Structure 1
Amino acid sequence: MNQISLYHRELLNDHYHPKVAAYYFKQWDSYHMPFHTHEEVEIMYVIDGKCTVETEEEAISMKKGDFILLDSNVPHRLIIEKHSPCRMLNVEFSFCKKEGSFPSIKELAAENKDLTQFLLHKQSYAVLKDSNDIYHTLKNLVLELDKKESGRNMMVQLYLGQLLNQVARMVMEERKKNSDHQQANVYVKKTIEYLHHHYDCDIQVKDVSQAVCLHPGYLHRIFKRQTGYTIMEYLTSLRMEKAKMLLADTDIPVIEISYYIGINSRQYFSLLFKRHTSMTPGEYRKSVDQDIVKFSR
């Protein structure tokens, strides 16, 4: 069965085995491949050096330990720059009706939720970083393919099944990581919006976490990871910026500014303000007034 996508539903509805169509180890010293497609699914693994794989969507820089899984009929090309050799292992495979006793892709997927989910969600290509498991499997697969002895097909199917399971696990872990990152972005955005709307109130982390419906500890971790600041550090910085604006653009007495930004202690406000600006609130207002006078002259 040629020209079938790795994500074709028939693979989960009927019994097929992957079948290697081509494989090779090769060192490229300088090469600019034209765009092309394969009827087979392809894995390109960088053993050493670096290269670029271009698709119609993007140019992907790859180095030692990186590999790309390309679905069938995806236009792509390989670029190896001069004086930057790259050693690669490539395997191309298609699908054929199940022969023998080794489990089909459908049967493997029935025992592996990651493989099922991987095959149900089509993507033209996936770029992943190997932890050495993939290379070990690919190398064993190629060594087995090189053998001429009878009965090797069982071992070939074993390594192909192992390869699909490993890739599926890695892809699903990457998807979960990306999903978690996107969800974290949503919570961080909600947190920042809440702080900008309530900076003039006496708020604590628990108030923010309740507002965005997230556990305080988890919210603290994702906010720090995404912004580089704790929630209270961000709030303090925001309050100081608001204080600077009020000192520069209004006639509100200095001693009252702290209450407009949610800090109930004038002494604590002055301490924070000097820590952020190297000036007391009064000194800051005077410096702004002097600048305005100089400018008007």
Structure 2
Amino acid sequence: MDQASLYHPRYLEEECHLRTVAYYSKQWNGFQMPFHTHRAAEIMYVISGECTVEFAEDRVHLGKGDFILIDALVAHRLFVEESTVCRMLNVEFVLGPRQGAFPSFRQLAEENEVLRAMLGRVRPYLVLSDTTDVYHTLKSLVLELSDRSRGGFMVQLLLSQLLLRVARLAAEAEEHQANPGDLYVKKVIAYLHHHYDCDLRVKELAEAVNLHPSYLHRIFRLHTGSSIVEYLTALRIEKAKMLLAQTDIPVIEIPGYIGMNSRQYFSAVFKKQTGLTPLQYRLGIEAWQRDE
């Protein structure tokens, strides 16, 4: 194995740091890149549109939210159809001598099981679908690299976060192959916990995980014992209880903080689940705190 490879075992033994050597945010309007190699690993992320990444004996189609991690010295080329527009983020990185106090790549791998697992499976490229975490980290990294006035610590932090998020998605993808329904449900639950304060629709959730709404309904109930709406409602009430107990936000404003725009509906659901009105719940908490 060439020492430029991201998977070379020496990087888990020596004190090295990740370092970016190239990056871009670009829109391709039909494009054919010649086959090439470089001594850097590369992440290509599709923001919108679609493209194909070709290898000597294989080709991979990428759509919105897909990305590919290509190891160093793997011959490849990017191909975008003539009538297609593809927006992409790209970063190329290598491992070099450690500089500064930021944890080394070896230390990151020692502390993170999923990163160690990913590095233990040598592969020329890895194709994954994002849940927005990779996109936001990669976008922040490219913006940081574009600002030459900033130091290198934040670049190190974001690049390390990026690899850790990729490793986590790789682990989830392997879990998905063994139990696909469980992974989809976990993704939906994570989405609900991040967006419970928004006006959510099952169709939107299904699109977020690329499933048909009726199928998502079925596997969600199978894995959780409740419907998506029931789960979301219970989550919102738990958030409301926290706000009532720990903040001074007026009761009439609480529904807006948890994604319930109707005060009457919120009060009715809250009382059904707790046996108390929101005001009674807050007064009860205040009385309990005074008595302590």
Q: TM-score when scaled to structure 2?
A: 0.59
Aligned residues: 182
The within-5 A match list for 1:120-269 is 120-149=120-149, 152-179=151-178
Q: Separation in 1 of the partners of 2:120 and 2:88?
A: 29
The within-5 A match list for 1:25-64 is 25-64=25-64
AA partner of residue 73 (structure 1): L
Q: Is the 8 A contact 2:53 2:77 kept in 1?
A: yes
Deviations 1:257-287 (A, max 9, x none): xxxxxxxxxxxxxxxxxxxxxxxxxxxxxxx
Deviations 1:237-272 (A, max 9, x none): xxxxxxxxxxxxxxxxxxxxxxxxxxxxxxxxxxxx
Q: Separation in 2 of the partners of 1:7 and 1:21?
A: 18
Q: Which residue of 2 aligns with 1:20?
A: 20
Q: Alpha-carbon deviation of 1:148?
A: 2.3
Q: Separation in 1 of the partners of 2:27 and 2:77?
A: 16
Q: Alpha-carbon deviation of 1:179?
A: 4.8
AA partner of residue 136 (structure 1): H
Q: Is the 8 A contact 1:66 1:127 kept in 2?
A: yes
- After TM superposition, what 4+ stretches of structure 1 lie above 6 angstroms from structure 2? none
AA partner of residue 22 (structure 2): A
Aligned-partner SS, 1:102 = coil
Q: Separation in 2 of the partners of 1:179 and 1:98?
A: 38
Residue 116 in structure 1 maps to residue 116 in structure 2: yes
Q: Alpha-carbon deviation of 1:117?
A: 1.1
Q: Separation in 2 of the partners of 1:31 and 1:81?
A: 7
Higher mean Cα deviation, 26-35 or 65-74?
A: 26-35
Q: Alpha-carbon deviation of 1:3?
A: 5.8
Q: Which residue of 2 aligns with 1:66?
A: 66
Q: Is the 8 A contact 1:25 1:88 kept in 2?
A: yes
Q: Which residue of 2 aligns with 1:94?
A: 94
Aligned-partner SS, 1:101 = coil
Q: Alpha-carbon deviation of 1:36?
A: 1.2
Deviations 1:39-59 (A, max 9, x none): 100000111111111112322
Q: Which residue of 1 aligns with 2:198?
A: none
Q: Is the 8 A contact 1:115 1:164 kept in 2?
A: yes
Q: Is the 8 A contact 1:69 1:125 kept in 2?
A: yes
Q: Is the 8 A contact 1:51 1:61 kept in 2?
A: yes
Deviations 1:112-166 (A, max 9, x none): 10111111210110111111111100111111112222x6211000001101110
Aligned-partner SS, 1:21 = strand
Aligned-partner SS, 2:161 = helix
Q: Alpha-carbon deviation of 1:95?
A: 1.1
Q: Which residue of 1 aligns with 2:249?
A: none
**Two-structure CA RMSD over aligned residues (Å):** 2.1
Q: Separation in 2 of the partners of 1:14 and 1:114?
A: 19
Q: Separation in 1 of the partners of 2:16 and 2:178?
A: 31
Aligned-partner SS, 1:106 = helix
Q: Separation in 2 of the partners of 1:24 and 1:17?
A: 21
Q: Separation in 1 of the partners of 2:168 and 2:56?
A: 26
* C-alpha distance 3-24 of structure 1, shift in aligned 2 (>3 A): farther
Q: Alpha-carbon deviation of 1:86?
A: 0.6
Q: Separation in 2 of the partners of 1:19 and 1:71?
A: 15
Q: Alpha-carbon deviation of 1:180?
A: 5.5
Q: Separation in 2 of the partners of 1:144 and 1:158?
A: 11
Q: Is the 8 A contact 2:25 2:142 kept in 1?
A: no
Q: Alpha-carbon deviation of 1:174?
A: 1.4
Q: Separation in 2 of the partners of 1:74 and 1:111?
A: 28
Q: Separation in 2 of the partners of 1:26 and 1:143?
A: 13
Identity of aligned pairs, percent?
49
Aligned-partner SS, 1:108 = helix
Q: Separation in 2 of the partners of 1:120 and 1:146?
A: 32
* C-alpha distance 6-146 of structure 1, shift in aligned 2 (>3 A): same
